[in-house]
Amino acid sequence: MKITRRHFLKGAAAALLAGGAAGVWAGSERPTEEKPAAALPLLPRRGIHVFAGGQDVLPALERLIGEIAPSLGLNWVILEVGGGFQYISHAECANPNPLTKADARKLAALARGKSIQLVPMYNCLGHQSWHADVGPLLRAHPEFNEAPDMDPTAEGFYCMSWCPRHPELKPFVFDLFDELLDAFEATAFHVGMDEVFILGQCSRCKGTPNATLFAEAVNDLHSYLVGKRKVEMQMWGDRLLDAAQTGYGEWEASANDTWPAVDMIPKDIVICDWHYGLDNPEFPSIRFFQDKGLRVWPAGWNREESIRRFIEVARKESGPLMLGYLCTTWVDTNQIVKGLAGETVEETRGRRRGNVVAGVKLGAELARGTAG
């Protein structure tokens, strides 16, 4: 099942950062010396990011949007759709049993009724495969592969990228964006763009600095989404941070020279600044992106200490450009929704879903200012 494999999208990063068992916590209440909850203001954007894999998660998505998110005070839901939608323009880009346009419309109506902003997401540039497990776009269109000669089964290979300079790529993916924007009646779109490690390999891109290639890709997407479609563009922020300078490491920040792109992109992009560990507990990126004139949306995951500290810094650095807090999940949406509803979660030997559920609850409470 696609979602199962996608569980590990950020697994390597998380494992490195969490140091294995150090990342496990019980999620129970703990004594605190913080101020009473009522003293803390509500952060404006309180979001959750989940996989929207297809028909198998549709009931869970309905429950999430219609009941769970409102009960947690969450007002933004980012749906990582990718191949989970029945595209008409390029039907070959859908996985089996995808969400239909009617499903999307139903979710959009539910969200509207609950005053929730629903944001479709399509991973752009990177994350076109998980190792050798190729996503639907490159599976159907290998001509878009940036590095077809690389062996995805080789040690250290992470995810395939598409070629941002392929002459047919942009109109192709913009067709997909159009369908998602229309079906979900969206006013914002998330383009992913995290953990891009393969750049500058093909004959079109070779010799161009990675920062230029990355900025070019961002600007192309921005021209279409913001310029033409007039929607908000959101993206993950890791490639715009200097790993050496921030101390975040090569997953949460860039050690492959993409980071100077931060000065080459429009200021109206919303940067989803994800950090799941405590490699740098000062979380300097929250201030950094604001100083660059960009809106920053801090995004945490499953470690109590990290979530608490991250939101503490976010509140301390809070200005007009600091948007709130985004809970990420990275495990099966069906299980997350069950857990958030208070039902028993089926645990696996890998990621502890219970910790993710607890992380979402804690993040939502801290973002509302209602957790101790």
By CB under 5 A, name the binding residues for Zn ion. 146, 163, 165, 202, 204-205
Q: Least distance from C-beta 154 to Zn ion, angstroms?
A: 20
Q: Least distance from C-beta 162 to Zn ion, angstroms?
A: 8
Residue 314, class by beta-carbon neighbours within 10 Å (0-12 exposed, 13-18 middle, 19+ buried)?
Answer: buried
Residue closer to Zn ion, measured from CB, 58 or 193: 193
Q: Least distance from C-beta 163 to Zn ion, angstroms?
A: 3
Q: Least distance from C-beta 146 to Zn ion, angstroms?
A: 5
Nearest alpha carbon to residue 196 among 243, 161, 220: 161
Residue in this structure with the two tokens 């405590």, named with its chain if needed? 278
Residue closer to Zn ion, measured from CB, 136 or 200: 200
Strand residue runs (E) in the chain = 45-51, 76-80, 117-124, 129-130, 133-134, 188-192, 232-236, 270-274, 295-300, 324-328
Residue closer to Zn ion, measured from CB, 85 or 214: 214
Q: Beta-carbon neighbour count of residue 223 at 10 Å? A: 15
Residue closer to Zn ion, measured from CB, 152 or 247: 152
Q: Least distance from C-beta 335 to Zn ion, angstroms?
A: 38
Strand partners, 189: 233
Q: Beta-carbon neighbour count of residue 144 at 10 Å? A: 20
User: Please, which residues have CB within 8 angstroms of residue 65's CB and are 6 or more apart in sequence?
Assistant: 77, 107, 110, 111, 114, 116, 118
Residue closer to Zn ion, measured from CB, 100 or 219: 219
Residue closer to Zn ion, measured from CB, 165 or 309: 165
Q: Alpha-carbon distance 73 to 52, whole Å?
A: 21
Q: Least distance from C-beta 87 to Zn ion, angstroms?
A: 24
Q: Least distance from C-beta 165 to Zn ion, angstroms?
A: 5
Q: Beta-carbon neighbour count of residue 207 at 10 Å? A: 7
Residue closer to Zn ion, measured from CB, 156 or 207: 207
